[in-house]
Amino acid sequence: MGIGRLRFGVEQAVTLHRQASGLVAAVRRALEMPTETGYSAESTAEQRAIVAHLTRTAAELAPGWLSSPLTPETPGSTEAPGGNRGNGIAGSIGAADQATPITLPALVRIGEARPLPDAAFPLLIPTLGKGHLVIDADARDPRVTALIRTVLLRLLATMPPRELRVLIADSATVGAATAPFRPLFEAGALPAPVTDRDGLKHVLDEAERQVKAGHKELPYLLVVVAVAPELLEPADAARIAALAHAGPAARLHLLVTAHAGKPLPNSTQLTLRKDHALLVSPGGETSTIPVHLDPAPPTSVITEVAERLAVEAALAGRTELASLLPAQRWAESSRAGLNATIGRSGMAEQTLSFDDATPHWLVGGRSGAGKTAFLVNVLYGLATRYAPEELILYLLDFKEGVSFTEFTPTERDPSWIPHARAVGIESDREYGVAVLRELDAAMSQRATLLKRAGVTKIGELPETIARVVCVIDEFQVLFAGNDKLARDAVDLLESLARKGRSYGIHLVLASQTVSGVEALYTKRESIFGQFAARVALPGGAGVLDPLNNAATALRLGEAVVNTSAGAPGHDTVVRFPNPHAEVETLAELRHTLWQARPAGSEPPSVFEGYAEQHITNDPVFGIPVHRRRAEVIVGRNVDVSGSTASFPLDASPGRHIAVLGPSEVGADILHAAVAGLARQHGPGDVRFLLVPLVAAADPVCDDVVVDLDRLGHSYEILDGYRLRNVLAEIADPATDGAQKPTYLVLFGADAASGLLEQRDPERRRSGIDDLRTVLRTGPARGVHVLGWWRGLRRFGEDVGGSSAREDVACLVTLNVPGAEVAMMLGQSQLDWQYRPNRALLIDRHTDRIATIVPYVRPGRYA
Ligand SMILES: Nc1ncnc2c1ncn2[C@@H]1O[C@H](COP(=O)(O)OP(=O)(O)OP(=O)(O)O)[C@@H](O)[C@H]1O
């Protein structure tokens, strides 16, 4: 072989390496050497000198794993082959103690160019930051498999894991070509190869996104296209050509196999011959210099490297919550919006914002898909990033579970997240609507502020106004029932979704069944249209466009994030941590945030739907207040603050309380009523007449007695006969004013009906007559009846039917059907269904009807 041929070969190498300026210069120098030194290049020795020079240059330009032979000299060692430090996994893993910085692997060895039968120089091809590699044979050819493995191993072993993503579409060998890299797939450090047409489309989507994003901070993306040629659709081939054109500028690089036809732009092209390969110039000209592709690296080497990289990736790409939290607490401003780190895509952190573009989020996922985990991560992330003056949280959970207990003080741990304003656990719809109302009111206040300041967004106000994030888990419960409550919820949500962005009020709606929200039917678009940010967890494809199948193959701990209202092609798959696995980290973080809370911070108001409510925890119980008139405390309102549910007692006719329904909670409500009253009167100022008429109430009555004794009150315990006499006494106008203010407490009042119905022939009155008189005239004389009737009908008959409705104005109904309550109230319909641990409070004088959580004695539901 003469120098002419060598010169041709080397010059072609120069052309092909045009973009690799370092190599071009080096090769030129090598070519110029004979003339400079005056030697004739005709001699074989001279040709050898050129080849040797090229070899040395190659080692400089592509050190370590990039170009050295991949059969390790010391088996079992993944130190950089060839003894080079700096460009290899040894360098990246031990980066801290490496003196040599990692250089970008712009050039990678794929084999040897052999211009002389006995002299070869390493063939380097331009890769990251430069160009693509294309070969005409498909991956079923073992030499192509070897090429893929060589390039992948060299690049993976060289690049820091965060800076190179690899996507593999391999229908040709169904993933076999890259099988030795399995440890990386299993560790989630690289996505496993996709092997079908849809998979290829997703890979190309992802590559196009990289090109569209176009900014320089993205990690490099290497896409291996090892598609069986018979499965490659022309449209996909066109997409690949377009990506080849635009890729290098956007850090996207291709390794394409089975490519026939026109050379792809920016590519090193190879054509396979029987025992060697040839380079094809961009113009399509085939060189004559034979290239011997490197054999596949030993599987053991690949596996060892992959395992080490998987460990490194696991460390670098940890998705533990702690690794996603900001280093500095409360360092960010919420003026322009809030950023939440939601997990990682590859090694890169993924952030989703609450701002003008994505003011509200919709999150979907089947039960057990990790929705709570996802939300808890987001909330801890936000609470660590933004100070309580910048962020307020409202957390509502409608399902059974403990999603947000994290954020509230408990008996065991008094700390709380200082941003949390209200937390609803197993919330009622009434509570949800109360929260939405509070937010709606906040929106109106903010609107006034903005108007006054002449601006349109809270970020433009001179002072910082905290942004509000309201998370509603299983929000579809709000709309169940298609009743007034559901309609109110829809209206409020629509208003918040539409206007919240300007006022810094952001919603996160999470659900298992977003698609089936019936009550939203007419308003679906106007509500969900405002939710540009969609997060689909496994089974949560309902939050995406019906044509978007990006969430089909998600695993636990993964989510598709889409900021284009779920439109196909705008999806990023993120991995998120499991906070339930980091209980200690969370507890520590909560304590740190709690300790740092601003002076005077109040704990969040907490609504626990399942919890028994006890009067001893009532906000006004036992606080000595000088009341003008007594209040009968019966439970807690289902509102944001969990305020006291009570009836004021005054002298107007009808200020008596009837608790209705067979549930024994009726007796407990009377217990609470007496306990509350007993603390509003001095000992001896009033008298309590206790009438335990049913066995079920005896223990309750005993507790009342103990309490009254302790407080030094005077009381009497009456049976049915004494009750009849007492009613007669009180009803007698002659006793007017002779008695102290009296509370007549009837435990199971219906049991006395038979006795009271009997007429006293002398007085020509029955006990029932006296009862009705007491009801009508008692309050004016300070006599109030507190009674528990187990049946509605009996109660109606005792008090005198519908004409006497006003004689008992304060009602608490328990397990009584809504229709019967409606009938008693003379209404056509009542949207109320009894649920355990709930009651309906009705005050006829104020037309107030509200769901309450009645006070019970501890252990009532145990
Ligand atoms: N990123 C994750 N990696 C691994 N396991 C996880 C991850 N996130 C959650 N899990 C686990 O999955 C299970 C379900 O999680 P989680 O309670 O968050 O789901 P969910 O969708 O809220 O379920 P449900 O709606 O039934 O309450 C839990 O056992 C949790 O530990």
Instruction: Quickly count: other Cβ atoms within 10 Å of residue 290's Cβ.
Output: 19
| Ligand 1 pocket mutation, candidates 372, 380, 396, 554, criterion most atoms within 8 A of CB | 372
Kindly report the protein residue whose alpha carbon is nearest to atom 3 of ligand 1: 557
- Whole-angstrom CA distances from 703 to 571, 617, 688, 690, 708 are 62, 17, 14, 12, 9
Question: Where does the pLDDT of residue 736 fall: very low under 50, low under 70, confident under 90, or very high at 90 and above?
Answer: low
Of 601, 605, 630, which Cα lies nearest the Cα of 619? 605
Sheet arrangement for strand 277-280: 119-126, 107-116, 291-293, 277-280, 267-272, 132-135, 252-256, 220-225, 164-169
Across the chain, what does the average pLDDT equal?
85
Kindly report the protein residue whose alpha carbon is nearest to atom 12 of ligand 1: 370
Report the SS3 class of residue 833. coil
Distance 378 CA to ligand 1 centre (A): 14
pLDDT of residue 647: 94
pLDDT of residue 94: 35
pLDDT of residue 715: 95
- The answer to whether ipTM exceeds 0.95 is yes
Per mean pLDDT, which range of 38-42, 243-247, 547-551 is the poorest?
38-42
Residue type, 802: S
Report the SS3 class of residue 511. strand
Span(s) in the chain for CATH 3.40.50.300: 321-608
- Class of domain 3-316 (CATH, top level): alpha beta
Instruction: Quickly count: other Cβ atoms within 10 Å of residue 286's Cβ.
Output: 13
Structure tokens of 523? 């308003």
Residue 409 CB-density burial (10 A; 0-12 exposed, 13-18 middle, 19+ buried): middle
Query: Is 102 a residue whose pLDDT tops 60?
Result: no
- Whole-angstrom CA distances from 226 to 129, 183, 303 are 21, 20, 21
Provide the 8-state DSSP code for 328.
S
Domain 321-608 is of which CATH architecture? 3-Layer(aba) Sandwich (3.40)
- Class of domain 639-807+820-825 (CATH, top level): alpha beta
| Ligand 1 pocket mutation, candidates 371, 471, 511, criterion most atoms within 8 A of CB | 371
Instruction: Quickly count: other Cβ atoms within 10 Å of residue 134's Cβ.
Output: 23
Question: Where does the pLDDT of residue 3 fall: very low under 50, low under 70, confident under 90, or very high at 90 and above?
Answer: very low
Query: Is 328 a residue whose pLDDT tops 80?
Result: yes
Measured distance between the N- and C-terminal CA atoms of the chain, rounded to whole angstroms: 96
With a 6 Å cutoff on the Cβ, whether 557 touches ligand 1 is: yes
Query: Is 89 a residue whose pLDDT tops 80?
Result: no
Distance 579 CA to ligand 1 centre (A): 9
Of 856, 811, 850, 854, which Cα lies nearest the Cα of 832? 850
Query: Is 46 a residue whose pLDDT tops 70?
Result: no
The mean pLDDT value for 91-108 works out to 50
With a 6 Å cutoff on the Cβ, whether 372 touches ligand 1 is: yes
- Give tens-digit pLDDT for 627-650: 667 899 999 999 998 999 999 999
Query: Is 744 a residue whose pLDDT tops 90?
Result: yes
With a 6 Å cutoff on the Cβ, whether 577 touches ligand 1 is: yes
Residue type, 156: L
The mean pLDDT value for 778-798 works out to 94
Q: Select, from the ranges 117-131, 155-169, 297-311, the one with the highest average predicted confidence (pLDDT).
A: 297-311
With a 6 Å cutoff on the Cβ, whether 371 touches ligand 1 is: yes
With a 6 Å cutoff on the Cβ, whether 575 touches ligand 1 is: no
Kindly report the protein residue whose alpha carbon is nearest to atom 9 of ligand 1: 370
Per mean pLDDT, which range of 168-182, 409-423, 472-486, 748-762 is the poorest?
472-486
Ligand-binding annotation for 754, yes or no, is: no
Report the nearest atom of ligand 1 relative to the CA of 537: 21
Distance 588 CA to ligand 1 centre (A): 21
Distance 373 CA to ligand 1 centre (A): 6
Per mean pLDDT, which range of 190-204, 420-434, 716-730 is the poorest?
190-204
Structure tokens of 450? 């903005």
Distance 392 CA to ligand 1 centre (A): 25
Query: Is 809 a residue whose pLDDT tops 90?
Result: yes
Ligand-binding annotation for 609, yes or no, is: no
Percent of the chain with pLDDT over 70: 85
Cβ proximity of 519 and 484 under 8 Å: no
DSSP string of 128-167, one letter each residue = TTT-EEEESS-TTSHHHHHHHHHHHHHHHHHS-GGGEEEE
Instruction: Using DSSP bridges, classify how beta strands 759-760 and 765-766 pair: parallel, antiparallel or unpaired.
Output: antiparallel
369: region left, alpha or beta (phi > 0 left; psi from -120 to 50 alpha): alpha
Distance 349 CA to ligand 1 centre (A): 20
Percent of the chain with pLDDT over 90: 53
DSSP string of 612-671, one letter each residue = -B-GGG-TTTT-----SS-EEEEEEESSTT-PEEEEE--SSTT--EEEESS-THHHHHHH
Query: Is 99 a residue whose pLDDT tops 50?
Result: no
pLDDT of residue 47: 65
Which residues of 281-337 form beta strands (DSSP E)? 291-293
| Ligand 1 pocket mutation, candidates 318, 580, 586, criterion most atoms within 8 A of CB | 580
Structure tokens of 839? 């009651």
pLDDT of residue 619: 84
With a 6 Å cutoff on the Cβ, whether 739 touches ligand 1 is: no
